[in-house]
Chains A and B, each alone.
Chain A
């Protein structure tokens, strides 16, 4: 089953740069469908990135984050071959997670 999460984590010296793309509609709740009915808000609420048993980044997202959200950040201490775990949960209780290797 394909994950909704695509991630590229590259270590350069002491710093690991992480870029992630998550497939999610991120419906704001303000848009109407063709029949004029409001499409209910459906968006990721929390994204968490963990390395070495420690959380290195947490995103708290509202409906104003764009569809198929992209994120980039950097942290220290990761090295090539390490695992980076990404997990998210949305406002409907759905979730996904992925373990990626730092390159």
Chain B
């Protein structure tokens, strides 16, 4: 039943923060002595990318590349967001070998809002909800075959998402 007991890659034994290990045991994963499952790891978080103030800098920090526009990236966002604290945004792409999707809100204090890693076998699409400080261009970036492609849309915000 417990496939983690067969986890073949001992390199995946990550030293888990006590809280995570405790959380897993507390979930009743039966306390069986299985190899430490590598849960979400804060070391993966691209700290520098999330600090950047411009699209170019954020993408350079995140992917080390520059981007070109593509009509094969679709960005679904409202024309007018009535509540800037919760703006539903979806990105999808028909580009091949997509490995990442990033969403930037250019008028936010830090432009990168979210980034996603897409392993092989996972669809190049994501739906999420983001905060927008004010009316802004939203840029969806897709990493495909090692290159970056984007689509953008201006989203009007009537009530800002930074609690203002």
Contact = CB atoms under 8 A, between A and B. Distances in A.
Contact of B27 (A47, A48, A97): A97
Interface in B1-49: 3-4, 6-8, 17, 19-20, 23-24, 26-27, 29, 37, 39-42, 44-46
A87 B39 contact: yes
A67 B46 contact: no
Interface of A: 1, 3, 15, 28, 30-32, 45-48, 50, 52-67, 69-77, 83, 85, 87-89, 91, 93-99
Contact of B44 (A52, A60, A75): A60
A67 B85 CA distance: 8
B64 interface: no
B126 interface: yes
A73 B41 contact: no
Contacts of B113: 62, 64-65
A89 B17 contact: yes
B7 A88 contact: no
B105 interface: yes
Contacts of A60: 44-46, 114-117
B26 A1 contact: yes
A76 B109 contact: no
Contact of B39 (A48, A74, A75): A48
6 contacts: A62-B112, A66-B85, A74-B123, A76-B123, A93-B42, A95-B40
Instruction: Determine the main DSSP class of A at the interface with B.
Output: strand
Q: Size range of the interface on B?
A: 35 or more
A21 B3 CA distance: 25
Interface string B44-60: 11100010000000000
The 4 closest A-B pairs by CB, nearest first: A31-B163, A87-B39, A58-B117, A64-B113
Contacts of A83: 3
Given A65-B129, A97-B27, 12 more contacts: A15-B123, A46-B45, A54-B119, A57-B118, A64-B105, A66-B128, A69-B129, A71-B127, A72-B128, A87-B20, A94-B19, A96-B23
Contacts of B163: 28, 30-32
